[in-house]
Structures are given as structure tokens and as C-alpha cells.
Amino acid sequence: MTLATLSQVLQPALAGRYAVAGLVTLGWEDMRAFVAAAEAEGCPVILQAGPSCRAHTPLPILGKMFRHLAEHASVPVVAHLDHGYTMQECREALDSGFTSLMFDGSRKPLAQNIDETAEIAAMAHAAGISCEGEIGFVGYAKGENSAGTDPDEAAKFARETGVDGMAISVGNVHLQQDKEGGLDIARIRAIEAVTTVPLVIHGGSGVPVAQRTELARGSNICKFNIGTELRMAFGDALRTAVNSDPSRFDRVTILKETHDPMVAATRRVLRAFMPE
């Protein structure tokens, strides 16, 4: 069994100067491919259940799926709640067998974000699992604008919440389909100067691959969340499978043909985070 907590994969990454991918799952086909890719590359992987995933599949089912994959994997697998917005949701994830809770209070005033994140971190740690928090709102492509992380606020947040990973807003945005942007290196360095907590980049699909590698090997960013990039790869594979024979209707047969392309796309993502 290789079920792991977030801290168990991020602390070695911090010491070894590499990053771990937090891969946003939507269903069995992609999460299975993500684990197969991690095994092929010999690296840990974080399976993430975000809001859209949870709207489609209940948390207790997702917990069993994640744990089943972890129990049969040859590499560490983290079962991670992504963007939990309430104590109730985080508690349900804990009760469903998740090994990491990400509470997102980034839209809230600093004091409220700290208090609520600290409460959830304490609950997680009491159960022997990990907690990620977010300071500085990360916006959405063609949607809400980001509010960059203030280094002094980040230091206070890390110190007073006890989180195992801290998501920051440094030019990253969710749901970005291209890689034409880039992260604010000066802001990252300023945050690193005031805390040793492993840092997390949400919206990693929009970060140029060369910069992902540079930061994985040369900063305290230990986790990059990747969702859009791999959802696009899945969509391409699914269209190819459907269009190859329009008369087919058995979805199991069709979905099986997404596996190998998804494994290949995921392996390319994972390689960018490897140590030198």
C-alpha cells in the first residue's frame, strides 16, 4: 500500500529540489492513467478531487477510488481534496478516506482565512493527515481576477495556520489553455524569504514548461496543480476514439482508447518536475 499524505510527499520534494504534480481528476479514466504515468516515471502523484469532480461523483466514492488505486500502486499516491470551501466538506473528505485536505479561504479576510484554515489543519493533523491552505486569491482565465499574495501576510498565514502546503498567487490563473504567461519570480523569492512551508502553484497548466522545471529545481515550490492541460489531452483522445468508428456506442470500449494517450500526456507533465 502506498497511500501517502501531502506532507509525506512534499517534504522530500523540498529537500530534494523537485516538485510533485497535483493532478485534477474528473473520473476513473483519468485518475487511473495518472497513476500509471507516475509508476512509469517512478515518482509520487497527488490525485485531486476538485469542485466539478465532486459535483459529478460523491466524496465517499472518490475516496474509495483514490485509495483503491493507491493500494495497488508502486509509488506514493496522495488522496487530496482540492478547493474545499467549508468545514463540513473537509470533514466529509476526511471521513471518506482522503489523506489531504485543501481548504480555500482565499476570498475571505485574512484573519478569517487564518482562523478557519487553522481549525481545519488541526482537524487534519489530529487524524494523521495533511492540510493545504491558500493565501492570495488565484483567479480564473476569462473570469475573476487574481489578488497577488503579500509576503508578510503569507508569513503570518503559514505561522498561524500550521499548514503543510501553502498555495500562493504569483501570476498564476486557473483554467488557462495556453502557456504564454509566466510567474512573478520576485514575489516568489520574497515569499520564500519569510517562510519555509512548501509552496503550491494552482493553475499550473498556464505556466511555461521551462519555468515549471526551473522553479521545481530552484525554489520552494513543491507542488504544481495541473488540470486544464490534461483535460484537453483527454478531450482530444476521446474525440479521436469516437470519430474512428462513428457506429460504435459501447462507452467502455471507447473510453479504453483514451488510456494510452492520457498516460503519455501525463508522463510529459511529470518529467518537467523531476530533479536534475
Report, as residue numbers or ranges, the catalytic residues. Answer: 82
3 state SS of 135: strand
Residue tagged 524569504 (cell numbers): 193
Q: Which residues of 73-112 are buried (b: 16+ CB within 10 A; e: fewer)?
A: bebbbbbbbbbbeeeebbbbbbebbbbbbbbbbbeeebee
Dist. CA 137–CA 29, nearest whole Å: 30
Residue tagged 472518490 (cell numbers): 62
Dist. CA 131–CA 117, nearest whole Å: 8
Question: 173 and 138 in contact (C-beta within 8 Å)?
Answer: yes
3 state SS of 121: helix
